[in-house]
Amino acid sequence: MNEDSPPRQNYEDALLGIVGEMSTAMRPQSEAGAAAAPSMDSALEAELGFDSLTRAELLTRIEQRFGVSLPEQVLAQADTPRALLRAVLAARDLPPGAEASPARRASAAPADAAAQAPDGAATLTEVLRWHLHRHPDRTHIVLHSGDGEDVPITFAQLHRRAGAVAAGLAARGVRAGTTVALMLPTCAEYFYCFAGILMAGGIPVPLYPPARLAQIGDHLQRHAGILANAQAPILITVAEARPLAALLKAGTGTLQSVLTPAEVEDAAAAPVHAMLRAHDIALLQYTSGSTGSPKGVVLTHANLLANLRAMGTALSVDSRDVFVSWLPLYHDMGLIGAWLGSLYYAFPLVAMSPLTFLARPERWLWAIHQYRGTLSGGPNFAYELCLHKLAHADLSGLDLSSWRFAFNGAEPVSLQTMRRFTARFARHGLRAQAAAPVYGLAEASVGLTFPPPGRELAADRIDRAAFARTARAVPAATEGSAVADERDVMEIPSCGRPLPGHDLRIIDASGRELPERQEGLLQFRGPSATGGYFRNPEQTRQLFDRGWLNTGDYAYLAGGELFITGRAKETIVRGGRNLYPYEVEQAIGAIPGIRKGCVAVFGCPDPDSGTEHIVVMAETAATDEPARRALQRQVLKTALDVLGLPPDHVVLVPPHTILKTSSGKIRRAACRERFQHGGSGLAQAAPWLQLAHFGWQALLPQLRRGRHAAAGLSYALYAWLLFAAMAPVTCLASVAMHRPAMGWSLSHHAARLLLRLAAVPWRVQGLECLPRQRACVLVSNHASYLDGLMLVAALPMPVCVVAKQELQAQRIPGAYLSSIGADFVDRFDHVRESEAIERLVAALRDGRSALLFPEGTFGREPGLQRFRSGAFVAAARAGAPVVPVALRGTRSVLRDGQWLPRRGPVSVVIGRPLAPEGQDWRAAMRLRNAARAEILHYCGESDALRDALRDAPRDAPRVKAQPARPGLARRLP
């Protein structure tokens, strides 16, 4: 044994010291402390960014430090420090378990360490069993009453009671795939029954319970359509609903039993554990309370677990968090985000009744205070309710300093509401950085975009007139520039970035993807996405668009973040509930004196309440004032019976006032516009004038969109025709010449001609920075298929293009690249990659410059990715300068996954050469960091690595990253 090697018990610390030192050296100085220290299980490539050359350097240092010789396959196979440690111990003939004794591992963990999450679980029932085996007595749920009699529920208690429910359901014929409806308030029995349905192999169908038991008959009748669609044979609900079982059985045709939780439980029966799989249905989340066309979103165990894991990663969640929730358990935010999130990560869920919150909203905040809640939130109206109803006396002594993520979602977010809320409760310890607008929908399980935790409320200030005219979000004049009137500025909150593993895109009416800052229809895809609607093929077909899912919302993207601008669907959102107009319109249309089929129900934003007002506009021929007052009272009563809450405005209008389409459908958006610009007064105008006016207003946006779509398609076809005409000629001529310099010159002029004929607004800055007398390594960001064309057009002198090995196997691209002197690198074979680096070093020493994309590849999402180290190692060893080249705009012109280019500005900025300060690995890392900082400053995109830091554990040491130093030729405007 080498006497200088560390003692056996210090091997782990010594190895982590080497890994940590190299990880720090790879980052710019401004980010050196921004990431968590590496652990024994950190992924060398995925987390720490160690590519094959860096791992080779790591192995060299390990061999020198420990005096061992490691086999070559360790370089490719060892993917964590723990795997490297095993290789070191094996090389020194130490037993595999010697790296750390169990006692030492236990003592190293802090007393309040977070419990692990069941990353290997494939179903929700596996998650429950996983926690049951590890900490059965851990408090899982606290039922908060607000009067001091809170009821805790442990994992063992939940499993025992759920098992009794499962046994009772199995005895009543529930098998794998049987739907079971659940209509209970927030109570312990809800959790037992939901988990019990899953354990029996059934599919829970949550329904919202009645606000008042006196209306339970009407309430259950409204749910008959959902029960019929779900084909649920059993409904578990409160005792008061049992007398209506016969009526519901006749109305649905499938319902057989209406039971209470006590009747379902069978503690004496044998346990039941159905064999569930990841892609079995775990939940039907109905998005409509209408009996006309209920839509049950199908969510599998895989969908739900993918969403929970993605949300947990985005928020750095662990078992030390505390979720305080008043959200209804029939709503996806309360059921999935709050409860199932707590089930997965084992953080306590403090659950209270929504009715308690509505009656006494201060109890929500005091629950956060009492239990040191870290996660909580709700729809916008919840924050407004706290602002309007709570007096200072209700809040004396309140401490909200533990609240780190106050999410606002499920209905339009008001910036004014969130700003007033954080300002008022700042005196109670609430940080401004806690406010977080989020976006999600049942079709994505629940969450889709989150802002990074700890960031202050972000909003986009755009030109209102330009947005209304062109649907383009043009940034408003910045400070120092003239703004005619603050009313000309529209502020839209950012809902953050898509969750890990999920993608967004914006399309126009023709289905063409739009660039950033262009409003259109929002679509998404990802592992959380539903497979469709239950027994509703027509709605399922409308949901999908070639692998993408339609959200029904208008939005735009900017800087990779989502900005919601409106809803395409007709849903009214009130108090976190989705209300649908059709059912109310039908009921009001049946009132004598109201013209049937001439009723419009819609929502209007109310800035004072932060939610939507419900407006009923109905036609009547009655002109007598007493008769109109009687009709108004009848409309009010009917709407109250159907919705369970009264409308805010009832407007009676003359016949032929309600605008319709040519097929007779109500044009609710046009009616909303009429109401907002004068209410019923506009109804006295001649009907044909009103129809002409609103018809023209509705037609204008369609004409504009159609014109833009036609122009965009025409341009794309023209650009492809140009390319098809010029590319083959250029390629064949270059191959025939057999002279790389001449092939490059021909390609350079052909590319410039193509850009000129395609009317691409492009420019090159910094050509004077290119070294004339010595070879250099040019490195560029990679964002689009256009990048190669732009660089060939920008660079007048021939360079050796270093391309990925896959292109050499393609006949035409491989032949062309070879004709202009390209070299090909196998990125996944470290031996061949090392050989390619040696060839590059030799070429540089012979006076030939090289061009590389150190990111290696590109994707749809904007953001500068991690740089591979090969180009910089070669430059350092050859003593050649590195020239950073920043491409800007190519991703918007032709994004990954689309084939129709759009016309847009593109720029190429060439920076000053960066000379190596040595020939070792450290010198190469300094070159890499400096070049990446220069490119990041001018490429117009965010730092993907810095964005990823938001996913690191929040207790990891962090420092605020500094902006990149501007060092390229000239700053872009």
> Which CATH number characterizes residue 586's domain?
3.30.300.30
In a domain, 117, yes or no: no
Count of domains forming the chain = 5
Q: Are residues 763 and 896 in the same domain?
A: yes
Q: Are residues 466 and 441 in the same domain?
A: no
Domain that includes residue 551, residue range:
459-567
Given a cut of 60, whether residue 98 has pLDDT beyond it is: no
Q: Are residues 535 and 641 in the same domain?
A: no
In a domain, 335, yes or no: yes
212 vs 226, higher pLDDT: 226
In a domain, 245, yes or no: yes
| pLDDT at residue 282, rounded to an integer | 98
For 615-661, the pLDDT digits (tens) are: 999 999 998 999 999 999 999 988 887 776 788 889 999 987 887 65
**DSSP type of residue 660:** B
For 315-344, the pLDDT digits (tens) are: 999 999 999 999 999 889 999 999 999 999
| pLDDT at residue 79, rounded to an integer | 78
| pLDDT at residue 176, rounded to an integer | 94
| pLDDT at residue 5, rounded to an integer | 44
For 230-240, the pLDDT digits (tens) are: 999 999 998 87
Given a cut of 60, whether residue 847 has pLDDT beyond it is: yes
d(CA 294, CA 437): 28
Q: Are residues 852 and 795 in the same domain?
A: yes
DSSP 827-867: TT-HHHHHHHHHHHHHHHHTT--EEE-TT----SS-SB-PP
For 673-704, the pLDDT digits (tens) are: 778 776 544 444 444 454 455 456 546 666 77
Given a cut of 60, whether residue 112 has pLDDT beyond it is: no
Q: Are residues 35 and 177 in the same domain?
A: no
* 101 confidence band (pLDDT: 50, 70, 90): very low
CATH of residue 475: 2.30.38.10
* 583 confidence band (pLDDT: 50, 70, 90): low
d(CA 146, CA 930): 57
pTM score of the predicted model? 0.71
693 vs 875, higher pLDDT: 875
In a domain, 166, yes or no: yes
Q: Are residues 430 and 527 in the same domain?
A: no
For 155-194, the pLDDT digits (tens) are: 999 999 999 999 999 999 999 999 999 999 999 999 999 9
Q: Are residues 277 and 204 in the same domain?
A: yes
| pLDDT at residue 767, rounded to an integer | 93
In a domain, 708, yes or no: no
d(CA 850, CA 869): 15
Q: Are residues 672 and 633 in the same domain?
A: yes
* 99 confidence band (pLDDT: 50, 70, 90): very low
Contact 495, 449 (CB under 8 A): yes
CATH of residue 83: 1.10.1200.10
Q: Are residues 342 and 285 in the same domain?
A: yes
| pLDDT at residue 585, rounded to an integer | 83
Q: Identify which of 393-397, 566-570, 705-709 has the greatest average pLDDT.
A: 393-397
Residue 206 pairs with which residues in a beta bridge? Answer: 182
Given a cut of 50, whether residue 971 has pLDDT beyond it is: no
- Residues 121-132 have a mean pLDDT of 96
- Residues 263-285 have a mean pLDDT of 92
| pLDDT at residue 75, rounded to an integer | 65
Structure tokens, 455: 């960031």
In a domain, 705, yes or no: no
Q: Are residues 92 and 241 in the same domain?
A: no
Considering only CA atoms, which of 267, 266, 365 is closest in space to residue 325?
365
Q: Are residues 211 and 309 in the same domain?
A: yes
Q: Report the b/e string of 748-766 with b at 16+ CB within 10 A.
A: bebbbebbeebebebebbb
- Residues 717-723 have a mean pLDDT of 92
* 948 confidence band (pLDDT: 50, 70, 90): low
Contact 333, 410 (CB under 8 A): yes
Given a cut of 70, whether residue 828 has pLDDT beyond it is: no
Helix crossing, 687-737 with 668-676: angle to 10°?
A: 120
Question: Mean pLDDT score of the chain, rounded to an integer?
Answer: 83
Q: Are residues 676 and 802 in the same domain?
A: no
In a domain, 711, yes or no: no
- Residues 844-861 have a mean pLDDT of 89
In a domain, 973, yes or no: no
Last residue of a domain, one of 663, 684, 705: 684
For 51-83, the pLDDT digits (tens) are: 767 777 788 788 888 888 777 667 666 778 888
| pLDDT at residue 145, rounded to an integer | 84
| pLDDT at residue 663, rounded to an integer | 44
Structure tokens, 648: 């805010």
Q: How distant, in Å, are the alpha carbons of 194, 300, 788, 800, 854 from that of 824? A: 57, 44, 15, 10, 14
